[in-house]
Amino acid sequence: MKEPFIATEQINQAFRDLETRPTPAILQALVEDQLRAVEAVQRALPQLVDAVEQAAERMNAGGRLIYVGAGTSGRLGQLDASELPPTFSWPRERAVACVAGGREALWRAVEGAEDDLEAGKRDLLALHPTHHDVVIAIAASGTTPYPLGAVGAAREVGALTIGIANNPQTPLVQQSQIGIVLETGPEVISGSTRLKAGTAQKIALNAFSSALMVRLGKVYGNLMVDVQATNAKLLARAVRLTVAATGASEAQAKAALEACEYRVKTAIVMIEKGLDAPAAQALLNRVDGNVRRALAVGP
């Protein structure tokens, strides 16, 4: 079988003199090359749309987002998973990550871990995946054994598999039900896919998970109304969001938030519908936490 061409590992001839350039020119080269990351994600928008819509169906059925990767790709998956609970009040147990080499690999490279196909299978199966889950496997090369092992195990149990790679026609893209190619080409520093390949992955993951949360009713308009207000900055943000959503005064917004443990959605419904906190929360529960639908319910 013919080996796929891995463009991300090729030597970029345009920068063979990189270390001889002055610092401003080195930085200019590195920054300008990042623009290709945005272009790569834009080309992949149709596949991202498919991923969001299919994932939403699984999440509505109670499924989990399971990110899988090695090295930079694994860390980016872990980052996306860890940011969903505070940003959207997404349950922590429903956004998890498998990183080749385990938790230690989040801050220190674990040599050889990415080459273990069986470990990818074991780590995924240890989470007891079901057909409601969505497995997002990430690898710049598209050939890394660890995420490939996880994809194989996920497909056996009927989970939705999304493969994100920076090279086309690679096993990760071909073996996943939805293959997302972020074709970024060779790096300024040859083979260092933490550069624009990693940037493209970060953009794609941000866009995927954020759009998914919008589809799941975690946003009202463009307001982050499911934020967990756990510090002074976020408490102030909750007040601003409530004011923006309702037109209430800052004092009214703060009073409503204090009455409902700073749940922005509940405060919005309280103010707009003239309800107390328990009644507003009960109404939200009836409509799966969707603010717009709650506000549309008649008196």
Residues 41-67 as b/e (b if ≥16 CB within 10 A, e otherwise) read beebeebbeebbeebbebbeeebbbbb
Which residues are registered as beta bridge partners of 96?
A: 66
Please report the DSSP string for 93-153 in residue order.
Answer: GGEEEEETT-GGGGTS--TTGGG-HHHHHHHHHTT---TT-EEEEEESSS--HHHHHHHHH
Encoded tokens for 227: 């934020």
Encoded tokens for 108: 């220190």
**What whole-number distance in Å separates Cα of residue 221 and Cα of residue 111?**
45
**What whole-number distance in Å separates Cα of residue 232 and Cα of residue 240?**
13
User: Which residues in the chain belong to E strands, given as ranges?
Assistant: 65-69, 95-99, 134-139, 160-165, 178-181
In the annotation, is 114 catalytic? yes
Other C-beta atoms lying within 10 Å of the C-beta of residue 264:
28
Catalytic residue among 9, 39, 83, 272: 83
**What whole-number distance in Å separates Cα of residue 270 and Cα of residue 259?**
10
Catalytic residue among 3, 9, 93, 114: 114
Encoded tokens for 203: 């953009």
**What whole-number distance in Å separates Cα of residue 164 and Cα of residue 205?**
9
**What whole-number distance in Å separates Cα of residue 208 and Cα of residue 44?**
11
In the annotation, is 83 catalytic? yes
Residue in 251, 250, 245 with CA at minimum distance from that of residue 280 = 245
Residues known to be catalytic: 83, 114
